[in-house]
Structure 1
Amino acid sequence: MNGVVLLSTYNTTWPQFTFICPNSRYNNNLTVVKSLASSSSSSETSGSSDELKKVLLEQVDKELSKGDDRAALSLVKDLQSKPGGLRAFGAAQQVPQRLYTLNELKLNGIETASLLSPKDNTLGAIERNILIAALLGFISAWVAFDFGPEELLYISLGVFFIWTLDSVAFAGGFSSLVLDTIGHNVSQKYHNRVIQHEAGHFLIAYLLGILPKGYTLSSLEAFQREGSLNVQAGTVFVDFEFTEQISAGRVTATMLNKFSCIALAGVATEYLLYGYAEGGLADVNTLDGLLSSLGFTQKKADSQVRWAVLNTILILRRHEQARTLLAKAMSEGKSVGSCIDVIEKNIDETNI
């Protein structure tokens, strides 16, 4: 995928950073924006403002589908500055950045142990049940067909080969696909948890000024869309500004703050809803890896993570209704533009 960071619910791979190049459609889109904006300024009705927003968000979807991330972001930023435009994009109020102690987080109702150490009990239980069923099936077949030592050896080697192939060639993608698909079908709680997790990523990114590019809510959906077992469910973002900074070897504090909060938004959402996080271990590990690669000491990394946790939790608490309705829109497969419209219509303007 060009120009995106993948923050995945259960992905275990490091995100790939690549560049996207602007093309001729970019300038054409600016002309469209100016034309539409001009027609909007000549009208004083809220209806025309809403119509402008609708048209431009549809154009954002078109540019994202074509892979022209720069044009899509330009449209959003232009609409952001127009009266009645995108009020919430990049407008989140944030807490001052300093070293927060664990006691200060506790005073804000945050237990970091339940948030930063996610363990997927649902998929873990499914995996154990599958292994038990497979073992019982193997024993039953052994008894029923009177397998000898050679047959048992061949079967064992075959199973070991398949497991090794999946682990090496697909980074466990096939087993993850199977477990995730079963989880979505047998556990409504797991299904809802994944949706809320990705809605948290989407909402925090948007409120901090990072444009979501797309999302998938299951490994099967990701496989059908990307055709690769190495891609898991998750949310992707327009992040060429970030990748350019990474390439130059200089990441600004502002950009790092944004992506720290986005990375922790999924586990933070689960924590607020369920009291603990199950999915999102890869998100936490990705952030840890990024901070390490930037040369952060343990104390400095802890400070960054604690601030990001507090900042993200407080933003999510203020906008619970918007997140809930956004999750509903995402569960219905709404486009990025439609999801943005849901946020804008339901955000608390007095306390963004």
Structure 2
Amino acid sequence: MAPSCAYPSGIVPRPPLETASFAIFALPPRRISSKSTLASRALREWQEYEDAVREKDLARALRFLKTMDAAPNLIRPTTPRSPSSTPLFNSSISYTPDLPRPEKDWEVLDTCLNADDMRLVGTAYAFLRDRGLLASFGKCKNIVLDGTRDVTPTVLKELTGLEASKLAPKKWGLSGTSRILLLAFLGGSNLLISQGIDIRPNLAAALALAIIDAIFLGGTCLAQISCFWPPYRRRVLVHEAGHLLTAYLMGCPVRGVILDPIVAMQMSIQGQAGTQFWDENLEKEFAEGRLSSTAFDRYCMVLFAGIAAEALVYGEAKGGENDENLFRGVCLLLKPPLTVAQMSNQARWSVVQSYNLLKWHRHAHRAAVKALEAGHSLSIVIQRIEEAISSGS
């Protein structure tokens, strides 16, 4: 079961298949028929891949790409050469055995969201990495900031410049903004009532709907409405991009980023948005009844990366309550379970690690935020991350 980092994709234009043109003069009929058949076969097979991507069928899409690698003699029509370079009395169909198709390989990532088997998602990432497309995937897997493991609030401030309270997710009724909004709402309601406008029935109905939404839908309706407020949505993007980038750099395959609260609810994700990632070592060790410090640290870094991203961009974090709940749940599954003091220390240490990792890759995080904001799919977002890291800007 892939962890879901919670907080509170767009149709990607694909390059069309290259078409083949035919020169029918001065060619033996049998040769035309043979190459026409091969061209039709190639186009039909690549259309099957396009269908698999559109239907988000990861197994079928990945099987097709592996077949192409396993059959180097399998041909595909490519763009014909210019007439000046094409010998007379020769077909203008050209074929390539090495299949230069990186833009097509990337699209397999867009099929991961509907995959039930996370091992298959891991296979897709390994396939692209072996083809040299995911150069930065897992590049920071073994990088941990040197220093003390005992991260007190004082040490946290020294390392990040932020108070511990700035990294605590805000809950309704506890933040200064919430209190101001509540007082303004009550004052406005009292003013309307004093003017003879009785809005108490409307308030009662709105309150009842809010309670029903909170109890039965986890606040999904309110979150959906809040997403139309640009500052709120921007903060969600910053938060989820932090999870995505950290998971990617730590070598954890990302299944997808869900930004729509309704979709998140349908996928049984805690919270109103989420980044689903998978750690093979973590799952294997849990199945064996153990958990190494390396796997646990990596998981915690990804889990607290959303809070770290908000702190890096805004100077404080407001989201991440469900991230903390997931963290506590895992800590209680350990044998022996962590104490409250140990949980707090591990959380602060993880935030420091993620904060510095994102700080070093600030340009890649910014690229991920922009790609998510534009509604791009997972494959495009990861391409933007790779481009930002390779260019260093």
CA displacement at 1:323 relative to structure 2:
0.6
Residues matched between the structures, number? 312
Show the 5 A alignment for 1:126-165. Answer: 128=182, 131-132=185-186, 135-136=189-190, 139=193, 143=196, 162=209, 164-165=211-212
Partner of 2:25: none
The Cα RMSD (Å) is: 3.9
User: What is the aligned partner in structure 1 of residue 277 from structure 2?
Assistant: 237
Q: Which amino acid aligns with 1:139?
A: I
- What is the 5 A alignment of 1:270-289? 270-289=310-329
Query: Looking at CA atoms only, which structure, 1 or 2, has the larger radius of gyration?
Result: 2
Structure 2 runs not aligned, ≥5 long? 9-56, 73-96
| Residues 194-227 of structure 1 deviation map (CA, whole Å, 9 limit, x = unaligned) | 111111011001111111112233425645xx28
1:87 aligned residue: 135
Shift in CA distance, 183/26, structure 1 to aligned 2, threshold 3 Å: closer
Q: What one-letter code is carried by the residue in structure 2 that aligns with 1:101?
A: V
How many Å separate the matches in 2 of 1:54 and 1:330?
Answer: 19
Given residue 169 of structure 1, which amino acid in structure 2 is its aligned partner?
F
Q: 1:320 to 1:31 in 2, by over 3 A?
A: same
Distance in 2 of aligned mates of 1:125 and 1:235: 30
Calculate the TM-score normalised by the size of structure 1.
Answer: 0.72
The match for 1:65 among 86, 90, 114 is: 114
Q: 1:33–1:75: 8 Å Cα contact kept in structure 2?
A: no
Matched, 1:332 2:365: no
Q: Which residue of 2 aligns with 1:341?
A: 383
| Cα contact 2:304–2:323 (8 A) shared by 1 | yes
| 2:37 aligned with 1:4 | no
Shift of 1:282: 2.2
> Partners of 2:123 and 2:180 in 1: how far apart?
44
Contact kept? 1:80, 1:86, Cα under 8 Å:
yes
Shift, 1:28, TM fit: 8.4
1:129 Cα deviation from its structure 2 partner: 7.2
Distance 1:293 1:135 in 2: 47
1:297 to 339, 342, 347: 339
User: Quick one: structure 1 residues 268 and 38, their matched pair in 2 at CA, closer, same or farther if it must change by over 3 Å?
Assistant: farther
3-state SS in 2 of match to 1:199: helix
1:133-282 superposed matches below 5 A: 135-136=189-190, 139=193, 143=196, 162=209, 164-171=211-218, 173-174=219-220, 177-178=221-222, 180-186=223-229, 188-220=230-262, 222=264, 226=266, 232-239=272-279, 242-243=282-283, 245-282=285-322
Distance 1:244 1:123, change over 3 A: farther
1:259/1:156 CA distance change after superposition, 3 Å: same
Question: Secondary structure at the residue paired with 1:236?
Answer: strand
Give the SS at the match of 2:228: helix
TM-score by length of 2: 0.65
- One-letter code aligned to 2:157: K
Q: What is the letter of the counterpart of residue 87 of structure 1? A: A
How far does the alpha carbon of each residue in 1:277-298 deviate from its partner, in whole angstroms, 9 at most, with x for none? 1111221232133223320134
Measured against aligned partners, the alpha-carbon deviations of 1:262-288 in whole angstroms (never above 9, x if no partner) come to 111111111111111111122123213
Report percent identity of matched pairs.
Answer: 26
Gaps of 5+ in 1: 11-23, 40-47
Checking the alignment, whether the CA contact within 8 Å between 2:279 and 2:299 is kept in structure 1 is: no
Assess if the C-alpha contact under 8 Å between 2:167 and 2:311 holds in 1.
no
